[in-house]
Amino acid sequence: MIPVTPLANERPSALATEISERLNAAIREHLLSAFAPDNTKTLRSFSAPEAAELLGVSGQFMRKVHAEGTIPEPDDIRGGRRYYTAQEIWDAREVLEKTSRKKGRYLPRRSGEEQLQVWQLMNFKGGSSKSTTSVHLAHYFALRGYRVLVVDLDPQGSLTSMCGISPEIEFDGLTVYDAIRYDEPVNMADVVVPTYFPGLSIAPSRLMLSEFETESAVHSNPDQPFFTRIRNALAQVEDDFDLVLMDSPPQLGFLTIAGMAAASSLIVPLTPSMLDVSSTAQFLELAGAYMGVIEDAGATLQYDHFKFLITRDEPTDVPSQQLTSFMRALFQDRVMSATALKSTAISDATMLKQSIYEVVRSEMTRATYDRAKGSMDAVGHEVETMIQQSWGRK
């Protein structure tokens, strides 16, 4: 444990520095319990029923393709039961896709004229579960064979930490700031790094990203407007991905607006409380005004989908359900049908910077785990349906 000593009775600047040092030390110790000894995150293995579900096949089919040698046996077999790494499932997709009669059954990636899907999650109310939703969507799609890029636009780097790169422990690599800065930006391909999760890459963030806000405020070159920076960076890597998920900071600044100009669809996570609904109304009022400004400056904004997602949903809480019903009555299909439940399973996983997909079911109360996973599966499936619609698929 970190020794607790009285805070120094000094100037506010010294006090803030001391508090920061204590917190960073405590966070470092906490994270070391969640990471491997070399400070890298690892992903659990998946049982045979889980692997079959992810591949969309039956257990009998899995046994058949193993018996035929179509896909190799997993390295981990315990008591006659197969356990698969995410990479082994990913490799199985590649093999099965080659022999499938239906193209895209195992690798539902975009092709031909299908456009890169860029989804931004935004709201300037803290606690709306933007980062939690972003990482769950990222894991959902990666586990289903999509090539996913997450772009962390929040200088606090919460999503970066959840993807296995921890600024609190040690991180001095390139960030999304290096790709969108005005002075000698680097290619986005040099920023993007693969994660421990097969199919998932990240353009990471750290505190330096906040410099973009300052630089954009004083930048005056009309040939390099701020709202083109993220869009242009993504264009450099679009051939490598099917889906981009952008997690915005809890404010309506230059980063959020530049993300809006790059996005093809928007999700506004919203917790069902009057304070959050009122805050979101103000946020959207400002967002609408800023959209008009950058459109007048030459930006083209066109969204396939603009949706509200109810997060931290409590089905037994009457006031919150009344607000949810109010939102559905007011905006109808603008509010997603699926909701992200308020769940101790998700909260406990998030404490260790994990999604529900990284948790072993037997380590939790099974009913609690099943409700939480079912909730996030439903959210992911609804977004997947909208993506398929954007691609013109049935």
Q: In 10 A of CB 242, how many CB atoms?
A: 22
Per-residue pLDDT of the chain (394 residues; tens, 9 = 90+): 444 454 445 666 576 667 667 766 665 665 555 555 556 788 999 999 999 999 999 999 999 999 999 999 999 999 999 999 999 999 999 999 999 999 999 999 998 889 999 999 998 766 678 999 999 999 999 999 999 999 999 999 999 989 988 755 546 789 999 999 999 999 999 999 999 999 999 999 998 999 999 999 888 778 889 999 999 999 999 999 999 999 999 888 999 999 999 999 999 998 888 888 888 888 888 888 888 888 888 888 889 999 999 999 999 989 889 989 988 988 889 999 999 999 999 988 888 889 999 999 988 899 999 999 999 999 999 999 999 999 999 7
Q: Identify the three-state secondary structure at position 17.
A: helix
Given a contact cutoff of 8 angstroms between Cβ atoms, the answer to whether 248 and 126 are in contact is no
Q: Identify the three-state secondary structure at position 193.
A: strand
d(CA 215, CA 228): 14
The HSE-up count of residue 55 (CA atoms within 13 Å, CB side) is 29
d(CA 68, CA 95): 13
d(CA 317, CA 380): 24
Place of tokens 């954007």: 390
Instruction: State which amino acid sits at residue 286.
Output: L
d(CA 360, CA 336): 28
Pairing type for strands 265-270 and 148-152 reads unpaired
pLDDT of residue 8: 46
d(CA 158, CA 148): 18
d(CA 217, CA 145): 40
Q: What residues pair up with 305 in beta bridges, in sequence order? A: 265
**Residue-wise DSSP of 162-225:** HTT--TTT---S--HHHHH-SSSPPPHHHH-EE-SSTTEEEE---GGGGHHHHHHHH---TTS-
46 φ/ψ angles, rounded to the nearest 5 degrees: -120, 135
pLDDT of residue 9: 53
Place of tokens 């109010």: 326
pLDDT of residue 220: 74
How far the first Cα of the chain sits from its last, in Å, is: 56
Q: What residues pair up with 267 in beta bridges, in sequence order? A: 121, 307
Pairing type for strands 81-84 and 46-47 reads antiparallel
List CB contacts of 125: < 8 A, sequence separation 6 or more. Answer: 250, 271, 275, 276, 279, 280, 283
**Residue-wise DSSP of 299-332:** -----SEEEEEE-SB-TT-HHHHHHHHHHHHHHG
